[in-house]
Structure formats: C-alpha cells, structure tokens
Amino acid sequence: MKKILVCCLLALAGVPALAQGSASSQKLRVIVMGAHPDDCELGAGGLAALYVAQGHEVKFVSLTNGDKGHQEMGGGALARRRNLEATEAGKRLGVSYEILDNHDGELFPALENRLEVIRMIREWNADVVISHRPNDYHPDHRNAALLVQDAAYMVIVPNMLSSVPPLKKNPVFLYMRDRFQRPNPHRPDIAVDITGVFSKKLDAADAHVSQFYEWLPWTAGKLATVPAEVSKRKAWLENWLTPRYSVNDEIRRSLEKWYGSSRVAGVKVAETFEVTEYGSQPDEAEIRRLFPMMK
C-alpha cells in the first residue's frame, strides 16, 4: 500500500519551559490512529502535547487521505491540501504524522489494511495505541477501530507479517472519547487534564483550515458563523470546540482518581480514554507509568 510520510518533527518548539523540565528518564512511544487527517488532533491532541512536553515520542496516523471531506473540492486536490494541513498540525504539536493513501469513505477492515496497521505499530515500538471506538457515526471511524482491534493481538505474533519483527510486549490499547451511547457509551477510565495545553490543541486544529473553518461548519449548518477575518477565527474555533472536552460528573470522578480531588477544581477541559479489552491490561501502577503527566 502506498504511504505518504507527512511530517516528522520531534522538536519541542513552543512547549512551555516548565513542562520541558519534567522529562521522564524512560521515553514512551505513543501512536494515535485516526480515520482521517484531524481525527487524532480531536481525540488526543492535548495528550500528545503533554507527552511531547515531557520528551516522549508521539506519532499520528490517518488511515485515509481525506479526499472526500469538503463541500466544494475533492479528489487529489483535496488530499494534497489535507496533507499540507496535517503537516502543519504535526509541526505545531511536535509529533510525527503519516497518512495512508486510502480513499476517504472507503476504508475497510481488509487484510491489506490490517497488515499496514500491524507494521506501523511494530515499527513505532508502541507502548500505547489509541484509536476510535467501533460504534461511531462514520464508517471509516468504525473500520479504523476494527483494524486496530484486529491488529492488537497480531502485533506480538511472529508468523504474522514476518518481515517486521513482532513486539516483545503487547501495547495498551485505548479508545478516544466520543458522544455515542449505543450499544454503550464511552467509559472515561483515564482522564487527562489538558487545560494547560488546550491552546496547542487548538493550534493543531486551526491548521486544518479545510475542516474546521469550511467542511465541518458546513455539515453542521454553521458555515455562515465562521468569521471572514482570519484573526478572529481562532476564538470562534475555541468557542465551538471547548464544549466537547467539558468535565461532567463521571469525568470528574476519573480526574479525582488520577490527580486527587484538590486538582480537579482547576480542570477546565479534559481528554478521556477507555481501556479496551485488547492488548495489555494495565493496572493502576502501569497506567500511571504510561501517563506521567497525571500528577
């Protein structure tokens, strides 16, 4: 399968100096696998910024090239535009970015795609793998989830994709937060305070101009509300996205578990993750090791 390596920038440009001083002695390697360019930023952009600030390594993957996600353009021109947007988003967060050349809306959990997912997880030597849940409005999101699930055990099987050495230990696999309730809602097993890096998450989203100022507002019937002045768009985007990361009672309880009750009052926005039944099953100590920012 043809791959497009979009961006590889692991510098800490723009990371607050205080955060840089907290680098762990053991580097963690995290891979976030979304269906489209911008899915990783939405689900784990704040978490990625926190990892990078501590000196860990994060890779974003889009399993499709996003060539249908626009109301006025499409095909190769849109894929190239979204490639450039993802490159800029990766640069702003300090993460690696890879886009697979599958058509938007046509992702299937086929063997060819599963092997690509296995390859990327192995080559990244991932400690943590994050993706969509399998119950979601978009078929690409559902199938991305299935592909990652199907790879979860196979990444340690030597005779599967024998050209790439298997992992010695199965990573922890996590689901990103979504709003869907059936057959079961997202469970916030891990809640991460992203208040201090929310501006970096917004910066990454802001790089996806075709999505956050054109396509997604159009699908939501809000295109007319997007400011014409570029200087005013970021504030509009913040008002639109902030409610997605609000802290409800269930998330607050999770935050209290990981940070302590004294910290929760200052948490304005959080990203949450559900531990899947695939891959390693971490205990509390392992989760704290894998999420060193939760202190």
**CA-based nearest residue to 85, from 222, 215, 243:** 215
Each residue of 79-121: pLDDT tens digit?
A: 999 999 999 999 999 999 999 999 999 999 999 999 999 999 9
Mean pLDDT for the chain overall? 93
Angle between helices 39-53 and 75-93 (to 10 degrees): 20
Report how far residue 146's alpha carbon sits from residue 243's, in angstroms, rounded to the nearest whole number.
28
Q: Is 143 exposed, middle or buried (0-12, 13-18, 19+ CB in 10 A)?
A: buried
Beta strands in the chain (DSSP E): 3-8, 29-34, 57-62, 96-100, 128-131, 172-176, 190-193, 270-279
Q: So what's the pLDDT on residue 16?
A: 38
**CA-based nearest residue to 170, from 286, 254, 57, 56:** 286
**CA-based nearest residue to 41, from 55, 57, 61, 27:** 61
CB 194 within 8 A of CB 279: no
Q: So what's the pLDDT on residue 198?
A: 98
Say how many C-beta atoms besides its own lie within 10 A of residue 160's C-beta: 16
Each residue of 252-282: pLDDT tens digit?
A: 999 999 999 999 999 999 999 999 999 999 9
Q: Which residue type occupies 202?
A: L
**CATH homologous superfamily of domain 3-290?**
LmbE-like (3.40.50.10320)
Cis status, amide bond into 183, omega within 30 of 0: yes
Cα 240 versus chain centre, distance = 19
pLDDT band at 12 (very low <50, low <70, confident <90, very high): very low
Each residue of 141-152: pLDDT tens digit?
A: 999 999 999 999
On the question of pLDDT at 10 being above 90, the answer is no
Say how many C-beta atoms besides its own lie within 10 A of residue 221's C-beta: 8
CB 103 within 8 A of CB 78: no
Each residue of 150-179: pLDDT tens digit?
A: 999 999 999 999 999 999 999 999 999 999
Each residue of 208-258: pLDDT tens digit?
A: 999 999 999 999 999 999 999 999 999 999 999 999 999 999 999 999 999
Question: What does DSSP say about strands 96-100 and 128-131: parallel, antiparallel, or unpaired?
Answer: unpaired
Model confidence, pTM: 0.91
pLDDT band at 6 (very low <50, low <70, confident <90, very high): very low
Q: So what's the pLDDT on residue 25?
A: 61
Percent of the chain with pLDDT strictly greater than 70:
92
Report how far residue 54's alpha carbon sits from residue 43's, in angstroms, rounded to the nearest whole number.
19
Q: So what's the pLDDT on residue 295?
A: 84
